Amino acid sequence: MSVIASIFLHGKSNNDIVTMDNKLKIWLVRHGESEVNRFDKSRFYGTNPWSELTTKGRCQSIALGEKLKGEVFDLWLCSPAVRAQQTCRYFHEGMYGSCEVPWVRYELDQQLLEQSQGDAEGHLKSEYEYCVVTDSGSKMALTSSGVELSWRQARPYKKDTSKPASGAESQDDVFERAKDCILRNIRRLPEGKQNTQMIAFTHETVIKCLCRGLLHKTLPFMAMRIANATVTILCYCPDTNTWTLEQNEFAGNNKIIDE
């Protein structure tokens, strides 16, 4: 019998309800090392869509593909950012080598882009502070002891101003759009298979926001780092209607499994 599963933590609408009677694995791959990873860490550079992989990043992506030879994915998704697309292509090269295997068609999805800091992109982080707006309409700056909900809703504000950076996203914003992407594509997976697998090439904050939302993780979880060109596997079991983080050798450098 099919299980009607409210798969996602947030949202109560019928759009968050899907019918599943098979096990699902979502492989989330963070892109390989890119030029943006070498930029000045004192500035916001997260959403730069044109940053390419470094030589190290290309090698990392090929090596990951080689490790995952034999895996079969029912759907390939990718962030439109150049570094994510290059990771996907080099991953494919590592997985299939030079043999004449038809190129896998991957689909670009804007909802897999890295968290946007809006107008703050390229500016010094010291010029901004993460804040939320209280019920009274006043701005409240956050500290490391800030409450969980406030951190999820915070955006960068220019210091001494009352407005957030235009176009900046909160962590909740990132989770909601990434959730919508995954949910929309789950409905496209083949029916009748005992196990289905989806792979998505994306970015660190997107992966962490998805994991936190689905696995009920708390604030310290978001401070952990995910290494370049590593894979995080989220596994959905319809029998228990739960998500788990599957630990595996390919995520050996992925520190979110340590929490």
CA distances from 223 to 86, 144, 205, 211, 220 (A): 26, 10, 10, 13, 5
- pLDDT, tens digit, for every residue of 88-130? 999 999 998 765 555 667 899 999 999 999 999 989 989 998 8
pLDDT, the chain, mean = 79
| Confidence band of 10 (pLDDT split at 50, 70, 90) | very low
How many residues can be counted in the chain? 259
pTM for this predicted structure: 0.85
**The pairing of beta strand 139-141 with beta strand 128-133:** antiparallel
Share of the chain above pLDDT 70, in %: 76
Going from N- to C-terminal start, the domains of the chain cover 3-39+61-113+176-258
Tell which CATH classification among 3.20.20.70, 3.30.1370.60, 3.30.360.10, 3.40.50.1240 matches the domain 3-39+61-113+176-258: 3.40.50.1240
- pLDDT, tens digit, for every residue of 194-223? 688 999 999 999 998 998 888 877 656 677
Average pLDDT over residues 120-142: 80
